[in-house]
Amino acid sequence: MPAVEDPGLGKRIAATRRARNKRQADLARDAYLSLGMIRAIEQGKRYPGDTALESIAAALGVDPTRLLAGFTGTETCVHTALPLVSAALAAYDVPLSAPRRGLDELHAAVSDAVNWRLAAQYGRIAQNAAALLDDALALFHASTDKREAARLLVATARSVDAVAYKYGAHDLSARLIDLMRWAVPHAEDRLVSNSVAYVRTEVFFTARAHAAGTRALEAAIDAAPAVSDESTAASRGALHMRAAVIAGRDGDAGAAETHLAEARRLSASTRETAYLGTAFGPASVKIHELSVAVSLGQGYVDRAFAVAREWAPPGDLPAERRSGFWIELARAQVWGGRMEDAFESLKVARSIAPQHTREHPWARETTSTLVRLRRADEESLHHFAGWLGAV
């Protein structure tokens, strides 16, 4: 719940909605909330939490402070959490305290964090990050059989890393990845090792060490277990998806297409779902086809448009992945001179995952370009750019 409660919040939301000619059903759809919840909020019978308020504000095209003065929300929560996470990491290899949560309780908490990451709910992760990391480390050190505790520690660190990486704390993100790499041998599970190799690619993206990143992923693919079921196919396929994108950023179109083709082949017999926290399946591969085209640069804009011409990510995919598709499509649309379409794509991304869109560097870059060229509806674009911090 927001730190500052205001009984007039529901009325302001309703007034802003009407000013934008939206019905309650439209707002519910665009904010990804239930119609009943929107009605209850506008009537003052229910008070939205930070995430719900940010989703409503994003759907209305305003900053949350326009609806609730003094609102700080996710960004403040994240920046408060990061030093606490850093402190929890300082002595990750030293047992400091007894576990406060048992294995089953920690399983449930980590599962929540994984789901929040896939839904791009970074504020909720941040609120729990330091305590969850402390508890995962304590359980790991106290366990005699460390395999399951190591799996939980990797999943915890990965969820917390999503916050650090998305909010630009790249040094902290690298330390969390080092923690994952330290813990993964104790899991004695090659699929967990593959998931860490997938996440480690963030370090190469940040450093623009694309050739090294491609080689690291190819080494992980070579070491991956043979495909014997959906889980092994998804694990290998996810590595190929990731390798395709980073090879594209390295300008190696041949390697990118080879990895993409292999991911496509593996997805053909795999259900679309999250395997060890990584979404894989035909729709995820389709999204990566667009990602590869955008990674290869402006010369491949027609390929990006071909992917999006008759297809859009289905609603049951994780929000982070869906919003990423629209952000990357907007980048391609700017390259192709389709400025109005680019702005519409960014608004779709925001409606799906406001926190992800607000912190995505390409969303800011694309919006800044639209503002500079004075393209798209100027008033709406100005509000959007202000919300994004792109002005």
How high is the pLDDT of residue 1? 47
The Cα–Cα gap between 370 and 381 comes to 8
Q: Are 282 and 272 in contact (CB under 8 A)?
A: yes
Distance CA 201, CA 207 (A): 10
Q: How far apart are the first and last CA of the chain?
A: 29
- CA–CA separation, 134 and 231 (whole Å): 29
Yes or no: say if 325 and 360 are a contact pair by the CB < 8 Å rule: no
What is the DSSP code (8-state) at residue 300? G
What does the CA dihedral 248, 250, 251, 256 come to, rounded to 10 degrees?
Answer: -30
For residue 273, give the H/E element and its range: strand 273-275
Q: What pLDDT, on a 0 to 100 scale, did the predictor assign at position 376? A: 54
Residue from 133, 125, 190 nearest 157 by CA: 133
Please tell me the distance from the alpha carbon of residue 329 to that of residue 357, in angstroms, as a whole number: 13
Other CB atoms within 10 A of residue 334 CB: 25
pTM for the model stands at 0.85
As a whole number of angstroms, the distance between CA 371 and CA 367 comes to: 6
User: How many Cβ atoms are within 10 Å of 148's Cβ, its own excluded?
Assistant: 17
How would you class 258 by CB atoms within 10 Å of its CB: exposed for 0-12, middle for 13-18, buried for 19 or more? Answer: middle
CA distance 242 to 280: 11
3 state SS of 358: helix
Cβ atoms of residues 156 and 113 within 8 Å: yes
Q: What is the pLDDT of residue 5?
A: 66
| In the chain, domain spans | 1-71, 74-188, 208-311, 316-391
Query: pLDDT tens, position by position, for the chain (391 residues)?
Result: 444 467 889 999 999 999 999 999 999 887 778 899 999 999 999 988 877 888 888 788 777 877 887 776 788 889 899 999 999 999 999 998 888 999 999 999 999 999 999 988 888 899 899 999 999 999 999 999 999 999 999 999 999 999 999 999 999 999 999 999 999 999 999 999 999 999 999 999 999 999 999 999 999 999 999 999 999 999 999 999 999 999 999 999 999 999 999 999 999 989 999 999 999 999 999 999 999 999 999 999 999 999 999 899 999 999 999 999 999 999 999 999 999 999 999 989 987 888 899 889 999 999 999 988 875 557 678 778 877 877 6
Amino acid 3: pLDDT: 44
User: Which run of H or E residues covers position 279?
Assistant: strand 278-280
* CATH code at 1-71: 1.10.260.40
Query: According to the model, what pLDDT value does residue 250 have?
Result: 96
Q: Count the helix, strand and coil residues of the chain and give each as a percent rounded to the nearest 5.
A: 75, 0, 25
